[in-house]
Amino acid sequence: MASQEAEALFKSQVEISQLVLGFADSMVLKCAVELRLADIINSHGRPISVSQIASGINNSPSSDISYLARIMRYLVRKEIFTAHPPSDGGETLFGLNQKSRLLIHDSERSLASTVIMQLNPSFLAPWYCLSQCIKEGGTAFSKAHGCEVWDLASRNPEVNRNFNEAMACTSKIVMTAILSQYKDGFNNIRSLVDVAGGTGGNVAEIVRAYPHIKGINLDLPHVVATAPKYEGVSHVAGNMFDAIPNADAIFMKRILHDWTDESCVEILRNCKKAIPEKTGKLIIADIVLKTDDHCDKLDGIRMAMDLVMFALTCGKERTEQEWKKLLEEGGFYRYKIIKIPALESIIEAYPE
């Protein structure tokens, strides 16, 4: 019995230690992105040695190879890079795999900007305030910085750039999933508004795939002022809390999770006013959390994203029941959920 108790205690100790040291994974990944290790290996077009990687690090005439070797060893263990043991007594060679290719900065589907943004000290600071929020209420970000994330981004160019680049790179991956899996959903739409669509990249992709659609991109004046021109897309400066341009359908990707239930209902009611009562529809791309007895392997990440919203905004990720309640209060009484190969699902909602 004593032996079983000791083993159980050790197992619990290991599991707690894994949680405590979880930051190591994040920080080593951040280190890899900052040093552009994936870019260096990719530039050679083949697996290379630690010394070759070190020689490719910019502005580093005296890179510490022993430190770099330890970082590479850890990243190989985490299956971020591959390791090829020498067959002739030479150095181990390190190569890319599907994960590390997502860390190449100039790649079409790079996640490098997301790594840099999420692990920026400004975005990490609110995590130290979670317990304070539970005791006192309020948002973690405002407790850490004295303002909300949107205010900090508006006055800090580096934070704003990091945030925008991160949103753009994750958006490309989600849009690929939407366009590949939601083909019939856009067929009968003649006009589509992307609410809070940033500089219009998402609706432009939809219009490119479905040229019969007239695309409208709605966002705040200072956002659309810098938006590029896209064929078939018009930019409208406005505020989703005031009014939304009329269209056959409305598209919102990862918007409602930033806001409280009360604010979401306000946005949804404006959406309902903007579309035809009998034929209009709302297309939401957002996370749908599963209940405990119906979790899948991705729901742990989805729940972690809910805590990201806790740390950075006043919003949250929602279960289907929470979405149902929100939609009904906003005037959308019918809905269906369509799964796509992403953390998000498509929630298609109708006013009748």
Provide the annotated active-site residues: 257
Sign of the four-CA dihedral 143, 144, 146, 150 = negative
Indicate the length of the chain as a whole number.
352
Whole-angstrom Cα distance, residue 117 to residue 341?
A: 24
Q: Which candidate, 74, 73, 93, 67, places its Cα nearest to that of 57?
A: 67
Whole-angstrom Cα distance, residue 63 to residue 82?
A: 21
- One-letter amino acid for residue 220 of the chain: L
CB 232 within 8 A of CB 211: yes
* Beta bridge pairs of residue 319: 289
CB 192 within 8 A of CB 210: no
Q: Is 208 exposed, middle or buried (0-12, 13-18, 19+ CB in 10 A)?
A: middle
